[in-house]
A and B are shown apart, each in its own frame.
Chain A
């Protein structure tokens, strides 16, 4: 049995660091949207940090990941530095995508993040492709794709699961079940349990009931990753979690689609507080050590915001780059 708690202390502390990075990065991004520093909007992962970090930390260097529209946590979970991510949200030259992707399209190939997708489900087969290249080239890589409970009803997921299972590809399908597709309660538009769909494709399906427990998520995904790396094929992992904020920042929905009791219950299960308490209780870290990590990440986020705001705007010529790998003549320019 895999037990994430038996990992070296520095890895456990790194889990807390990455969860805190996501939390504080997204809180700062939310403020920067309200103040007009970030154009457009953002979708925060606040409340879902354990699900993201537990999964990403279960991977190895060289593995690949594709994400979705709720999209800052995944590259952070893979270990991406914050400055270029925040600069991307602001649309600066120093952005990880040179200011051409924005919040919905972060990607950081340095850490295996192949890209977030604004179209839900669209990036699922991309991860399957990353696992196909691993298989054909005989490399021991695995790939993971994150999608929500809403996207679990997209046909492309099932085409992808079937193909991955038929080829025994080293890929993990991770459903982030936060109970709502925007305002629509998942159970009202979903037949049966998502995790049960795995068996139809001949692959293991595991549901992590407490997705606020970073170790529980780590254990499930690590088992799926080990299995994939052994050549035994794909897995589906469904993680039950909750987003603490609205679907996107600034979105006002007149119908209160989530009741207060439910919200209170889930917000009492803050993954960052839970993990801090666990590490202290098990004697793995002291309160002082955890406080020091809080301060360290607060400073990191402060620095990333400063970096983003002080970075230069992109040169306008960049709008006309990166369409193709070779030179391209734009017909329309007079």
Chain B
């Protein structure tokens, strides 16, 4: 095992995939100069030993600022023999290529009766909470969950990011990855050998008996912190990260709620029609009899992102908000603990 950052793990996964399969290419804005730090073999600047040096400009290509053409070209290339990784940098830029995601990537295989497979990965990073203003801070993965035909991953740790990205590149279907920039510097032990993490398998970060907390992307570390705090107050928390949103391992979440009877879901996307809403609906459908309290969602408010740091931090889930949600549905436990204490 060795310790890696979240962003370093993404770069390492790309490097392994590029070495393993000549059909894998990386295209995107500024990938040659390693501006975003994932095409430099662990280095933060383009220099000797970077991806261009290692794999050549035939396979590492800067693109014009033309998201629609970049995405469409990658789809066409994937349909005819390549396995492109497209670096779209900011998740907010995906909107520029919406037609290609929805009408080509998601539909071609289905419409054409299975004639095509589209092995392409679209990477983008959610730069939220970093004072980049309303045009660079979106967390738009729920919009794409609404498009059958796309697969979606939203890793929250370094080892998950690496293993899932390898699976995404090996997948014969189009995959969108949503990386959380607030987690880029987070470190985790990562296996030294190459490994793949399958899609549709949730990761249970801690086991507990009183409440299930689902933490997605950048909200996972907050959920774990909230769980630590509540554990000290006598509430046993189970924390689950679905890791991939399409397909989603709802069985693990439902099984957990059948055990705990309570559910709080935290995610950095907007509340309305978010991943949390979908999880809440599935649990209400499949584990309603086990629920002893309402399901609570801790999401970004249905509000645009303001610039000022003082204002921006009002928008997203925080540890305190997750704690408040847990308190709201665990009043019985907290009362018992309080009674015992007094």
- Residues of chain A whose beta carbon lies under 8 Å from any beta carbon of chain B: 64, 66, 95-101, 105, 107-109, 114-115, 117-119, 122-137, 139, 141, 143, 155-156, 159-160, 162-163, 166-167, 321-326, 328-329, 331
Contact = CB atoms under 8 A, between A and B. Distances in A.
Interface in B41-81: 58-59, 61, 63-64, 66, 68-81
Contacts of A127: 76
Contacts of B76: 66, 114, 125-133, 143
B225 interface: no
| Closest 6 A/B residue pairs (Cβ) | A129-B76, A125-B72, A98-B113, A159-B69, A159-B66, A126-B76
A125 B71 contact: yes
Nearest to B119: A325
Interface stretch (B8-16, B100-108, B129-137, B318-326): B100-108
Contacts of B149: 323-324
Interface of B: 23, 25, 58-59, 61, 63-64, 66, 68-82, 99-100, 103-104, 108-117, 148-149, 151, 171-173, 247, 250, 282
B72 A117 contact: no
Given A129-B72, A132-B82, A107 B151 contact: no
A95 B103 CA distance: 21
Contacts of B71: 125
Nearest to B74: A129
A131 B114 CA distance: 22
B275 to A, nearest CB: 13
Given A98-B113, A139-B81, A156-B72, 20 more contacts: A105-B112, A107-B116, A108-B115, A109-B116, A118-B103, A124-B72, A125-B69, A125-B71, A125-B72, A126-B76, A127-B76, A133-B80, A136-B77, A136-B82, A137-B82, A155-B68, A156-B99, A322-B109, A323-B149, A328-B247
A96 B115 CA distance: 9
B58 A136 contact: yes
B111 A162 contact: no
Contacts of B69: 125, 128, 156, 159-160, 162-163
A139 B82 CA distance: 12
B116 A115 contact: yes
